[in-house]
Structures are given as structure tokens and as C-alpha cells.
Structure 1
Amino acid sequence: MTVRVTVAQVTVADDHEANRYLVADAFAQAAKVDADLLLLPEYSSGYHRSGVGIEHAEELDGPYVTLLRRRAAETGVAVIAGTTLPGDDPAPDGGPRKGVNALVAVDGAGELVGVYRKVHLYDAFGTRESDRLQPGPVDAEPLTIRLGDLTFGAITCYDLRFPESARRVVDAGADVLVVPAAWVAGPLKAEHWRTLLTARAIENTVVAIGVGMAGKGVTGRSVLVGPDGVVGLELDETPQLRTVDLDADELAKARAANPSLANRRYTVVPREDRESSREG
């Protein structure tokens, strides 16, 4: 059985209402091609190049996730999308609390399947995401959603640079690794994006799908890489939607030929749990 996936490489604005219209249209386009799953970028509810924080946050019962659930129920298309939730940590200057960079998964009946709160904040390449956002708990259950014969698991953007994040989702049963991102542009950044997605696909024998945001200051370049490292889809920097079919039988064949998951000798343990076990 195949699972049809629409990758929506869209440009996200600071205007949340405008973004909801954009997402509603993406659902319509996915439904037209009988997609089972719509993938949207990180921060797809609202984004600003200077940073995203509490001013962009909405509750899970707010307008954005409510729209995702309604459109999923209307079209039968499941969705994985990035958003920003309110956090509870104060800002460094004692100002308002921070936001939380999050992913939500909604099934084709409109039910909220789960939420992932980004663990690795982007404090790199001259940017400090932690000034505006708080990280998610390292020991939270991985975000997965089952569609047909495939399980999709998700991490966010900068998490991609940490192979343990992907491996933990795979240990939770993921056959397809989804990475919504607003991958900041810069020297070699597009090359890093492609290389890291390829590495995560090969080492975990999964299909890896990087869903990039289009627009100024970000790279776009959504990529789908098979478990053999072959790139099956690669977009440029412009906004566009593309649809692919994923075959569970083909994935099973790749894992039989390269049983690296079965042959490994190490597990992934969240750092805080490891430290507490040493103390005990």
C-alpha cells in the first residue's frame, strides 16, 4: 500500500490570518490529488525573519490548530505542521514568558494525534532562538502518526543536526522522518540541509522528508531522500507544492538489504535520564 504525501513549501508571513488562508488552500490542493498527508514547514502559523517568540504564540485550541483540525476533517487529509505555543519561562530581562516552537500532527478525522516541542533551539550561526523560546522536554514521547502501512515521525529544523533526535523517533517506530524547517540561509547552509537529510535517511534506513519554508532569509529546497540515500524529490527556493507516493514494500526491501537498525549496539537515552541514572 502506498501513502500519498503533499509537500507544501510555502512562504509564511507575520500575518496569522493570511497564513491560515494559505494553509486552507494547501489542504485544497492536497485533497485534489487525493493526498493522505499534508506536510507544512516549521512556524507555518506565523513567522518573522527577526525571530519568533511569544507574540506569535497561539494555544492548541486557538485559530491555527483549530483550522488544521477542521480542514483535515473536511478533506480527510492528515497534516503535520509547525506552530508556536505559549511557554512558561520568563524572558531574560524579566519580560513576558517565552514561546515554544512546536509541531502538531492531526489525522484525517481532524483529531489532534500529538505535539512535539522542539528540543534543540537554534543557538548557532549568530542566532539565539533561546532568547525568545523555551525548549521542549528531552524525554517527551516522540511525535508519530500512522497512515496506511507507514509510521511518520517528526523532528524540527535544528534537531536535524543531532542524529540522536532522528534515531529516537525511529526507535518509536517511524518509517518516514519528517523535518519541517525554516532553514536559515547562509554560506553552505543548503548543502548542510541536503547532506544531513541524506545521512539521517541512510543511517536509519528511512525515507527522510525535509519540508523547507520559502521566502527571504530561508533556503526552501525541500528534499525527499530514500533509505538508500537517493534523492527522489528536490525543490528550489520558490513556493510550490509537490506530491509523492511512498511504498511500504520498497522500504521493507531496503531494510532487508541494509539491516543497520537490527545490527546496531547502542540505544539513545535522553541526557537528563542518563545523568540521573549515574547518580542513582
Structure 2
Amino acid sequence: MRKFRVAAFQRKPVFDDVAQVAARVSEDIAWCEGEGVDLALFPEGYVQGYATDLPGIARRAMAVDGPPFAELLSALPKSGVEMVLGFIERRADGYYNSAAVIGDGLIKGVYSKNHPNERDFLPGRDAPVFRKSGVVFGINICYDANFPESAQRLSGQGARLICYPLNNMLAAATAEKWRSKSVENLRRRAAETGCWVASSDVVGTAGEQISFGCTCIVNPQGTVVARVAEGAEGVAVFDMDCFDVR
């Protein structure tokens, strides 16, 4: 049986430089093409840089049907490697913490964080699933991992893989608190749903904040089978057996 290869990237955050992010993602996708990767996962809010205050969110937000997002798509490779890319989304009713699924130069869909822990993001309501090379996958974003029902909502639709874009750039004491808790949340969601889980986090420092990095791949039994070292950029790659029917 053919395996489904996932690459989860741990990257330093970039703020207010979409062109630089697009160039780095393009390099990573080129690497994925050479490695036979089916799906590439990038961190929460990676495109514009994460923001928690309304002025920062408003300045960085982009609409999927607007010129800035079109420019982003044109800068990314038209690759058969599908990517999950976190960004700050602008809609008519407000701002969303979202992740776009992009492949062959097209937006295949968008998931918006159902449980935002920042007051200026609106909660997404939908839980779409996607299909790539015969594998059904869905997305939860960062704080969503605290809610078992969010993962179960995806597995109930046939998802065999749940992708978690993360952004654990936090004040030092808070970052230390979540250092192990983030991994344990992912392990629990995998074991509860019987799904594979893959996460992608930022790493390093930004001002007085720090992220140790929680980029890993977890099998359906809740065992971490691949992880990027804390404090470093890198990529976790694993060949998942996601084709079995439950």
C-alpha cells in the first residue's frame, strides 16, 4: 500500500513581509517535491506574522478574494504538493484566524479557528475536510486542540489526518506552561479519534516572547513518531498509512 508523506515545518516567525514568507515557502515546497511529499504543513498565522491586538490584526489581514492574496498565490509554486498555510483573514463581518489549503496554484478551501483565544478574532463555524491522494484530512488550529469535539467533528466526517498549525510564541512563563501541554493535547486528540495528527509551530523569540517549538507527527495510538528539535528550525517527515477504512 502506498504511503502518504507529510512534512511539518518548524519555522522562525516573519512579520509584515509576505514576499519573504512566500519565498521561504517556495523553497520548502521545492524540497518537498524532491522528497515525494504529498502534504506540507506550516504554522498558524505564518503568512503575515501573528497578531493578537486589533490594530495589528487589521493591518495584516487579507481577504482570500483580494489582490494581496492573489499576489501570494502567484508567488507560490504551482505544485502538486498540497500545503496548509496559516494566515490572518479579513471577511466582511470581521477577522478570522484561518488556514488555507493550497495546491496547483489554487485555493482548495479555508478553515477558520473554531475556538480563538484572542477576543478580536471571530470564531469559525465550519469544519471542512479535504481530500488529497485518496486521504481525507481536516484542520484544527492551535487552541482548538483543547477541545476534543473539534477533532471528533473531523474524524466523524472520515478524516484520517488532522493538521494543527500552531503559534506558541508566548511570554516565557506561559510558553513553559504549554511546552509539554501542547504535545499532550495532540497525543490525546490522536488517540481519541484514531487519526494521525501533524502539527507545525513557530520557534525562537519575538521581542520578549519565546516559542520552544512543538512540531511533530503523532500516530493514531498517540505516539510521537517524528518531531523537530526544540529551539531549532527544521522539518518532521513521516510516511502515514492513512488509507485504511475504519
One-letter amino acid matched to 2:12: T
One-letter amino acid matched to 1:202: A
Corresponding residue of 1:171: 156
Structure 1 residue 133 corresponds to structure 2 residue 134: no
- Alignment match of 2:106 (pick from 108, 111, 115): 111
Displacement of 1:191: 1.0
Structure 1 residue 219 corresponds to structure 2 residue 212: yes
| Local SS of the residue matching 1:53 | helix
Q: TM-score, normalised by structure 2?
A: 0.85
Note the alpha carbon deviations across 1:225-274, whole angstroms, 9 max, x for none. Answer: 1111111012223111232211235x55xx5xxxxxxxxxxxxxxxxxxx
Corresponding residue of 2:29: 27
Can you give the 5+ residue segments of structure 2 that lack an aligned partner in the other structure? none
Larger radius of gyration: 1
- Alignment match of 1:155 (pick from 140, 147, 152): 140
Displacement of 1:102: 0.7
Corresponding residue of 1:6: 7
Displacement of 1:50: 6.0
What is the Cα-based RMSD across aligned positions, in Å? 2.1
Can you give the 5+ residue segments of structure 1 that lack an aligned partner in the other structure? 90-97, 123-128, 256-280
Q: TM-score, normalised by structure 1?
A: 0.76
Corresponding residue of 1:259: none
Same amino acid, percent of matched pairs: 25
Q: Is residue 151–residue 173 contact of structure 1 (8 Å, CA) maintained in 2?
A: yes
Q: Which has the higher contact order (CA 8 A, sep 6+)?
A: 2
Instruction: Tell me: CA distance 1:64–1:203, structure 2 relative to 1, closer, same or farther (3 Å).
Output: same
Structure 1 residue 237 corresponds to structure 2 residue 234: no
Instruction: Tell me: CA distance 1:200–1:34, structure 2 relative to 1, closer, same or farther (3 Å).
Output: same
Structure 1 residue 87 corresponds to structure 2 residue 88: no
- Alignment match of 2:44 (pick from 42, 45, 56): 42
Corresponding residue of 1:59: 63
Corresponding residue of 1:101: 97
Structure 1 residue 182 corresponds to structure 2 residue 167: yes
Q: Is residue 39–residue 80 contact of structure 1 (8 Å, CA) maintained in 2?
A: yes
